[in-house]
A and B are shown apart, each in its own frame.
Chain A
Amino acid sequence: MKLTKTLLAVAILSSSVLALSACGKSKTLVGFDTDLAKKVGEELGISVSFQEIVWEQKEIELSSKNIDLIWNGFTITEERKQALSFSMPYMVNKQVVVSKNSQSELIGSTAYKVAVEAGSAGSDAFDGDLLFKNSTKIEVTSQIDALTEVLSGTSDLAIIDGVMAGYYLADSTSYGKSLKTLSNYENSSEYYGIGARKGDEAFIAKINEGLSKAYQDASTTKIAEKYGLSSALVAPTSYASYDSISDKSSWDYIVAKKSMTIGYTVFAPIAYMA
């Protein structure tokens, strides 16, 4: 009993201390994808809520209806298209190879240890490139962990999104001081899109409509400028209009809820607290 009391006392004490310290300042979720999602929600007249998720669990979060969209620097790939419905692309991204400053340029048949985020486009880039045929792939849980691998020397290289690399390798960060992007690595461009449950075509048509409107009235450009991503923007492509889709249940579901829930993980400059 004494033990229980002591534990409860600790819990109560620490919670009151924290309640005091938490007063006064609160941080909000910002970032390119976050701001763009809010703008699109505004265009569609639907409120937007954000649910933090764990990246490996994104598909299961979607199918269990805990979230309605994966909108988090989500690369459109053929494999993903088979299991999910995608919006039009809104941002271009290249995979880049990061190494320590001391690393020389990449040499074909060398055996590197390469850190990638499990299930990421970087992981696919590793698999599809002959350059890495003698190398070992090390799968970690996030792109930032891949950078930590390189920094600590447990891996030689990391393959991550170019959009992220620009932000994380800024001079002031733990990574920027000792890591660099290798310039002789070429990878085809890929595009960020918004993922929904397979078959949610009506919902995706509405999202595309919102994306187009936001782009046309220059809101997208303004948001991109705020996060230094202007050069990565992509103009809207043509898309299947809402009226042309017969099964409208997915959009009806959102309208009935009056809100769409967006799954995100914290990674700057896409979505982070500031």
Chain B
Amino acid sequence: MSFLEVTEELLQGFLVTILLFALTWVIAVPLGVFFCRMTLSKFKPLHYFMQGFIWVIRGTPLMLQIIVIFYVPGLLFAWQSVDRFVAVLVALSINYGIYFSEIFRSGYESVSEGQKDAALMLQFSRSQIFTRVLFLPILKKILPPLSNETISLVKDTALARVIAISEILMTAQKIVATYAIIWVLFYTGVFYLVFNGVLSVVLKKAEKKLAYFKA
């Protein structure tokens, strides 16, 4: 198999990787905001429920979560399992939603109470306080950890192979299993590096833009 053919096949696997990453990110960010709001809730049962949920999701391996979401419906209830891709998407979104929510929470709690009080004194409404006063300092605070998790997510999509989704790593392993050429496996690293390189540059730029705001 020639270098070009391998590249072409790996690109097809990498499309699945990118698609998983992009869709998960787009779902997990709003989900994280939602989880964060629930965790900060003054309604105690909801708060404790979220504490338990965070404990379960952060305390178990993502690989296990993917396996549970895909296989358990069929095993316990004899339901038709959901699509493999959807199962991975759900598992990744919930997992990353929880991590994002903790990042959002730390950002929210880091903005000093004084700022909120001052805005209240100036008769800002609650929504105005959030959009005009808190939002940008929070964004600045959370961007570095968010960037970290975002890049982590690109690599964690590789776990999809555990339920036989042909993302780039599994695609490579299949090429190795068919043609018995090994370099293909290491070549996948180049794809991740290029993509994460571009991503890092974009995220750095966003951080620079926000450097204007003092925390």
Contacts and interface: CB of A to CB of B under 8 A. Distances in A.
Contacts, number: 104
A54 B173 CA distance: 11
A272 B156 CA distance: 26
B163 A54 contact: yes
Interface in A98-153: 142, 144, 147-148, 151
Interface in B161-181: 161-164, 166, 173-174, 176-181
A126 B61 CA distance: 30
Given A54-B161, A64-B81, A168 B180 contact: yes
Query: Among B14, B26, B73, B178, which residue has the most Cβ atoms of chain A within 10 A?
Result: B178
Contacts of B64: none
Given A10-B18, A15-B19, A65 B78 contact: yes
B193 interface: no
Which label, helix, strand, loop or mixed, suits the secondary structure of the A interface? helix
Contacts of B73: 64
Interface string B16-33: 001100100110000000
Interface in A48-104: 51-54, 57, 60-61, 63-66
B117 interface: no
Nearest to B199: A7
Contact of A63 (B14, B75, B173, B182): B75
Given A2-B206, A18-B12, A64-B81, A57 B177 contact: no
A273 B178 contact: yes
A147 B19 CA distance: 32
A272 B178 contact: yes
Interface stretch (A170-178, A203-211, A231-239): A170-178
Nearest to B26: A4
A207 to B, nearest CB: 22
Q: How large is the interface on A (under 10, 10 to 19, 20 to 34, 35 or more residues)?
A: 35 or more
B169 to A, nearest CB: 12
Given A6-B202, A7-B25, A66 B74 contact: yes
Interface of B: 8, 11-12, 14-15, 18-19, 22, 25-26, 67, 71, 73-75, 78, 81, 161-164, 166, 173-174, 176-183, 185, 195, 198, 202-203, 206
12 contacts: A7-B26, A11-B18, A18-B15, A54-B163, A60-B67, A144-B177, A147-B180, A148-B182, A151-B182, A174-B180, A268-B179, A272-B174
Given A144-B180, A273-B178, 10 more contacts: A3-B202, A8-B26, A54-B161, A63-B75, A147-B180, A148-B176, A167-B180, A168-B180, A174-B181, A272-B174
Interface of A: 2-4, 6-8, 10-11, 14-15, 17-18, 21-22, 51-54, 57, 60-61, 63-66, 142, 144, 147-148, 151, 167-168, 170, 173-176, 265-268, 272-274
